[in-house]
Structure 1
Amino acid sequence: MKSRENRLYVTRRRLALSLGALSIVVLVAGCSDPAQEKEYEVPKALCGVEVPADVLDPLLPAGEKVSERSKTASGVKRCYVSVDEKVALSTSIEWYEADTPVAEIAEKTIGADPDDKVTTDKRYSYSGKGGAGLIRCDDSSTIDKDVDGDLYTTVRVGGDDSADSAAVLKAIEAYTTAAPAAGECEVDL
C-alpha cells in the first residue's frame, strides 16, 4: 500500500511543481512590457521623394513619433527619418564617377559588405543594412553637360538593426525609381 501512496504523492508533487512553474511563466509574460507598436503614421515620402508607406513600414521601428530632416551639401542630398528622435532610416542621392559599380557605392556609403546581393541588371545592391541604386534620368537635357557621372541613391537602416533584405530591396527600388519624378535629376543637389 505504501508504494501506491508513495507514487500518488510523487505524482501530485510533480503536478504541483509543473503548475507552479507554468503559473510563474504566465505571470512573468503578463507583467512584461507589451510589444511596442507604431503610434505614428508611416511617411509616404522621404524628403520629397514619394515612397509608398507599405514599403517603408518594415524598415521603421515601433515608437511614438516620426520626423524627418534633409541636408544638402557638396552635391549630396541626405534625408534622415527619426523615430522618437533616433535616426531609424537615412537616404542619399549623390553623383559618382560614371559606371561606378553599384556594390562599390553601397560599400562606400553605407558600409555594406562587398559580397552583398546585386540584382541581375546590376542596378541595385542590397542587404539587411541597406542598399544602393542607380537612378535613370529620362531627360538627359536636365543634366549639365559638364557632369561626367551617374546619380545614385542609398538607403541605410538606422542603428545596429538589420531589416529583411527583400524589404530593403523594395525600398531602394521604390526610392530610386521615384527620384527623377521628384526633380532629383537636376545637377544642383
Structure 2
Amino acid sequence: MRLLPLAAVTAAMVAAAAGCGDSAEREYAVPSSLCGTHIKAAALTPLLPPGMQVSVKRDDPVPDAITTCEVAVDKKVVLSVERERREPGAAARDIAVDQLSAHAPKSAAARTIAYTDSAAVSITRCAAQDVAEEDISTVIRVFEPGHKDESALKDLITECTAALKKSSPCEAKSG
C-alpha cells in the first residue's frame, strides 16, 4: 500500500470541498421596491440568483393600462412584474392557466391569488361606488437563472397585492 504525502491529500480535500459548496454569492443589495411598489427585500430574496449587480427597470407599454417591471441580475432578466387594468370579473386562476400556461396553480386569498413555483397572479377588484368598475391584475414570473420557489412566489404576490391596495389604485369615476 502506498501512502500519499499530506500536502497532496490536503489539496485534494480542499478541491473537493470547493466543488461541493455553493461558492456563488449575492454581491448586490436586494431591492426593497419594485418600480415604485415598496416590498420587503426578504420577500424577493429567495427568488433571486447569486450575482454581482441587480437592476430594476420600469416600462409603461400601454400608459394608464399596463405597467411592467423587470429585475435583472448581471444583465439577465430573472423576474418580471406586470400590472394590467382589465374588465371586471377576471379570475386569477384563469389568467395563470390561459396566459401563463400554468399547470394546476394553487389558490389563496379567496381565489384572488393563483401561484406555482415560477409564476403568480393576483386580482385587485375596483368596485366601490366612487370608482370605475375594473380589475387590476398583477402577474409575477420567474425566469432562469432565478430560483423557482412556490412558497416565495405566494409571499411575494401577497406582498405586492397588499402594497398595491394601500396605494389606492382604483380610478375615480368620471362625470
TM range (shorter): 0.7 to 0.9
In the TM superposition, residue 60 of structure 1 has moved relative to its aligned partner by 0.9
Query: Relative to 1, partners in 2 of residues 1:41 and 1:140: Cα closer, same or farther, differing over 3 Å?
Result: farther
1:119 corresponds in structure 2 to: 108
Q: CA deviation at 1:111?
A: 3.1
User: Could you tell me which of 165, 175, 184 is aligned with 2:150?
Assistant: 165
Aligned to 2:70: 80
Contiguous gaps of at least 5 residues in structure 1: 1-11
1:159 partner letter: E
Report what 1:28 is aligned to.
Answer: 15
Whether 2:31 is the aligned partner of 1:43: answer: yes
| CA distance in 2 between partners of 1:168 and 1:34 (Å) | 23
Equivalent pairs: percent with the same residue? 30
Q: 1:108 to 1:50 in 2, by over 3 A?
A: farther
> 1:97 Cα deviation (Å)?
3.0
Q: Which runs of 4+ in 1 moved over 4 A?
A: 22-25, 30-34, 136-140
- After superposition, residues 67-146 of structure 1 pair within 5 angstroms as 67-74=55-62, 75-113=65-103, 115-119=104-108, 121-137=110-126, 141=130, 143-144=131-132
Q: Higher helix proportion, which one?
A: 1
The structure number with the bigger radius of gyration is 1
Which residue of structure 2 lines up, in the alignment, with residue 185 of structure 1?
170
Verify the 8 A CA contact 1:46 1:79 in the aligned structure 2: yes
Asked if the contact 2:49–2:145 (Cα under 8 Å) also holds between the matched residues in 1, the reply is no
* Whole-angstrom CA distance in 1 between matches of 2:142 and 2:151: 13
Deviation at 1:59, TM superposition (A): 0.9
Are 2:54 and 1:66 equivalent residues in the alignment? yes
TM-score normalised by structure 2 residue count: 0.80
Bigger strand fraction: 2
Q: Which amino acid aligns with 1:28?
A: A
Structure 2 residue identity aligned to 1:62 = P
Cα distance between partner residues in 1 of 2:38 and 2:44: 11
The residue type equivalent to 1:174 in the other structure is: E
The 2-side partners of 1:95 and 1:131 are apart by 17
Give the RMSD, CA atoms, in angstroms.
Answer: 2.9
